[in-house]
Amino acid sequence: MTPRASRLRPKASYEIVVIGASKGGLQALKTVLSSLSSDFTLPVIVIQHRDKKADESLNELLQKVSALPVEDVEDKYPIRPGRVYVAPADYHLLVEKGSFALSLDEPVQHARPSIDVGFESAAEVYGRGVIGVILTGANEDGAKGLAAIKRQGGLAIVQEPKTAESPRMPEAAIAATEVDKILPLEEIGPFLVGVVKRGGG
């Protein structure tokens, strides 16, 4: 499948990046985050499936490769630009205007945090200001969420399944919506940087 010509917009119109990953996600996230330089201006929210007993060690691993500060999310914390936020284990992560909200509602697609839940709430609040990214994973979480982002006029990016440790999640996302870009893993970070830096559309 070839990527459709995307309708990229000036940087001012994008407000937030949400990234969903599951199996194989740690390596993929490291690759993406390591190419975001410290002057990246948007908040980056990471929803990675993991064991419900998981601690904050994922944040530490990501901080090692990220020029941006990687922060824990607590309920109602403000969302600030130029930071990476990681969804805590065993809560759904939702966003409100300018802050996070957590919930203990039923797992969705057997997952908590669920990528669908996080993406749908980002689409709802930030509308066309959302850039959604689906990376590697062995389930179909995130497909509905990415479709919601597209419906609200946001930008949908999916890791090229061939470059994914587990292709199922990217494949499901591609099947669920007309994505704007399908990119090899290494190109996702630089692409985000380009979109955000682009001044004139």
Partner 1 sequence: MTDKDLEEIEIQLFLEGIYRHYGWDFRDYALSSLKRRIRACLQEEKVKTISGLQDKILHDPSGMERFLNAVSISVTGMFRDPGFFLALRKKVIPLFKELPFARIWDTGCGTGEEVYSLAITLHEENLNDRVRIYATDMNEEVLKKDQEGIFPLERMKEYTENYLRAGGTKDFSAYYSAKYENAIFRPAVKKEVVWSQHNLVTDASFNEFQLILCRNVMIYFNKALQERVHKLLYESLAPGGFLGLGSKESLKFTPCESCYEVVDGREEIYRRIP
By the criterion CB under 8 A, which residues form the site for partner 1?
A: 72-78, 88, 90-92, 94-96, 99, 101-107, 117, 120-121, 124-125, 127
Q: Is 51 a catalytic residue?
A: no
Two structure tokens written together for 196: 């955000």
Decide whether 16 or 28 has the Cβ nearer to partner 1.
16
Write down the catalytic residue from 35, 114, 121, 141.
141
Decide whether 150 or 181 has the Cβ nearer to partner 1.
150
Which residues, 6 or more positions from 109, have their beta carbon under 8 angstroms from its beta carbon? 116, 139, 140, 141
Query: Please, what is the minimum distance in Å from the beta carbon of residue 120 to partner 1?
Result: 8
**DSSP-H helix ranges across the chain:** 25-34, 57-65, 115-126, 143-151, 168-176, 185-197
Decide whether 95 or 134 has the Cβ nearer to partner 1.
95
Decide whether 3 or 71 has the Cβ nearer to partner 1.
71
Q: Is 22 a catalytic residue?
A: yes
CB atoms within 10 A of CB 66: 22
Write down the catalytic residue from 22, 35, 66, 166.
22
In contact, 79 and 85? CB cutoff 8 Å? yes
Write down the catalytic residue from 49, 116, 166, 180.
49
Strands 99-103 and 92-96: antiparallel
Query: Please, what is the minimum distance in Å from the beta carbon of residue 91 to partner 1?
Result: 6
Query: Please, what is the minimum distance in Å from the beta carbon of residue 179 to partner 1?
Result: 22
Closest Cα partner for 79 from 102, 99, 103, 101? 99
Query: Could you list the active site residues?
Result: 22, 49, 141
